[in-house]
A = this chain, B = another copy of it.
């Protein structure tokens, strides 16, 4: 096999979920049918890797000092939604009608891995809450052990600044069947039942 081709296959394996077979298929596909697309991908990748940094306000990916969302005058600066990753931010932005701002932790508290408040930008969040504009801190960390610990920490931080902390509702997913919902979720949903109007 051509060594450039071997290098390409090896290089594709850097992508998540791509093993040897998939990497081969990708390399062959690009060379057989998508050379132009391959050129565009190479250019977009080189560009993004060099030029995409983090927004100075919300820590989301951004190629400018302050990202478009943070710079927008039409967003409500009184609400601040904290998420673990840019992907979580995008999911919320696409699924909900939320018009407030975001803060991206780029991680979660994980003392065993040496990830403390500073590593996830909480010093900056602290300053931000101190500015007095934010009224509600919507905590949208993942419902994992570390995400919950981070949520707890964030709620305390909010209360210190007299900002109202809130948390996404947990429970049975819409369209899900009780039979297939995991025990933890079902138990939580049962305990958190609300009266019907």
Contacts and interface: CB of A to CB of B under 8 A. Distances in A.
Contact of A35 (B1, B30, B49): B49
A51 interface: yes
Interface residues of A, number: 52
A31 B85 CA distance: 12
Given A2-B63, A41-B14, A8 B48 contact: yes
Most buried by B among A24, A31, A51: A31
A42 B45 contact: yes
A45 B36 CA distance: 11
- Which applies to chain A's interface (DSSP): helix, strand, loop or mixed? helix
A63 B4 contact: yes
A11 B15 CA distance: 14
A129 to B, nearest CB: 25
A31 B49 contact: yes
Interface in A59-92: 61-64, 67-68, 85-87, 90
B42 A49 contact: yes
A38 B159 CA distance: 41
A85 B14 contact: no
Nearest to A13: B37
A186 interface: no
Contacts of A90: 1, 24
Contacts of A26: 15-16
